[in-house]
Structures are given as C-alpha cells and as structure tokens.
Amino acid sequence: MHFIHKYGSPNYFYQWSGTWLKILSALTLILMALGLYWALIISPPDYQQSETVRIMYIHVPSAWMSMFTYVVMASAGVVAMIWRIKVAEIVVAQSAIIGASFTLLALVTGMLWGKPMWGAYWVWDARLTSELVLLFLYVGVLAIYSAYEDPRTGAKAASILAIVGVINIPIIHYSVEWWNTLHQGPTVTKFDSPSAPLSMLTPLFIMFFAFKTYFFALLFARTRNALLSRERHTSWVQEILEK
C-alpha cells in the first residue's frame, strides 16, 4: 500500500493538496454562480409547487452531500484504523464538521420546503427521521473525537463509530421505497424516465457538482490547517512557517 502511505504522508499531502485546493476553489465559484443563475433565473417554476420548488436546488444537493460526506468520513476511518495514517485521522474529524453542516442545511431547507407541501415544518417521516439520525451520528463522531486528550486515540474511537454508522446511509437512500412516506420518491435517479424536466435537472446537477467541489476544497483547507497545528513541532512545518 505504498500509494496510501505516499499520499497520506503529512508533508506530501500538504504539497499536493495545495494545488488542488486552488483548482477546486475556482471550480466551485464557477459552478455555484452558473448553478444559482440557472436555478433562480432560467429554470421555470413548478406547475404544482410554483416558486417554492427553487428550494430544491439547495435542499437536494445538501441531502446528497450529507450522505456522500459520511461515506468519505467512514472510508477515512477505515484507512486510519488499518494503516494508522495521520491525515486520514484528521479527515475523519473535518469531514464530520462539514457533513454535519450539510445535514443541518438539508433538514432546514427540507422543513421550509415541507411547510407549503405538507402543511407542517416537520413530520416523523422515514426519510426525515433517518436524516436526523445522520446529524446525531456526525455530532457523536465529533464528540468522541474531542473527548480524548490524545488525538490519535480520539480518532480511533471516532473512526469506529463512523464505520458502524454507515448502515444508516442505505436506510436514508431507500427509505422512500421501503416505507410508505410523505417524502417524494426518486426523481433524479430515474435515468430511463426522470420525473423532472431537463430544464430543472440541469441546474440541479450543476449545483450538485458545485457542492461536491466545495466539499473537497473545504476539506483540503481544513485538513491542511489542522495538519499544520498537529505537526507544528516538526521540521517540515517549521520550514513552511519560515518562508
């Protein structure tokens, strides 16, 4: 596993992630501007939901990213547990912070969307409830990570919870199919016959990629800063600070 150790080396990770951070930040600005303009100006209102449908362009990508980020966090937890990579340990904690933010945004926008559609901000729907559990998992990972004085011990305990919590991801994804819920069924993933028109799907996918590039840019930035803090007494960090 030379590849993992090479790219997970603190010094080498800091070098290559700096280049990607600039690229991803630029892509985020471009995609976000294009996606928001298309979603708010070009995309038509829905015949049933009217202008309220525009919440979808924030809510759906946030919900997607809440699950995607958890998978990244759990994968980093596996790497941290097996190969004891410091960068992976930091990624677990930083992913939890970002993932909790995405999940909270998905829940809040879902409540705002649900009020005119269902007549209530919150219902104990299977999709909503499992998404709320996801938020609690993120908070739990952060709490366990910070509960130990030794960051490596905290990372190990947090990684275990992150890996165990992966079981909630398929529950969230398939909840609308497994149970009779108020939440609408799959629309975007029906590639053979999508329920939404192309004029709505296009900005939705643009916003999804904007959220994804934003996630990786933010993850790289936060991981780099945390890495500098943890490795501040090493020679390679001292060299960077002296420049």
In a domain? residue 186 = yes
Sign of CA dihedral 186, 188, 192, 195: positive
Residue 52: is its pLDDT beyond 50? yes
Report the CATH number that the domain containing residue 218 is assigned in CATH: 1.20.120
Please check whether residue 87 lies inside any domain of the structure. Answer: yes
Range of the domain at 45: 16-242
Residue 1 maps to a domain? no
Does the pTM of the predicted model rise above 0.85? Answer: yes
pLDDT for residue 3 is more than 90: no
In a domain, 10, yes or no: no
Q: What is the band of 185 on the pLDDT scale with cuts at 50, 70, 90?
A: low
Task: Determine whether 204 is exposed, middle or buried from the number of CB atoms within 10 Å of its CB (0-12, 13-18, 19+).
Answer: buried
Burial class (CB in 10 A: 0-12, 13-18, 19+), 215: buried
- The answer to whether residue 193 scores a pLDDT higher than 60 is no
Q: How many domains does the chain have?
A: 1
Q: Is residue 9 part of a domain?
A: no
How far, in Å, CA of 60 to CA of 77, rounded?
A: 26
Whether 4 has a pLDDT exceeding 90, the answer reads no
At residue 242, the pLDDT reads 83
Residue 235 class from Cβ within 10 Å (0-12 exposed, 13-18 middle, 19+ buried)?
A: exposed
Task: With beta carbons less than 8 A apart as the criterion, state whether 175 and 199 touch.
Answer: no
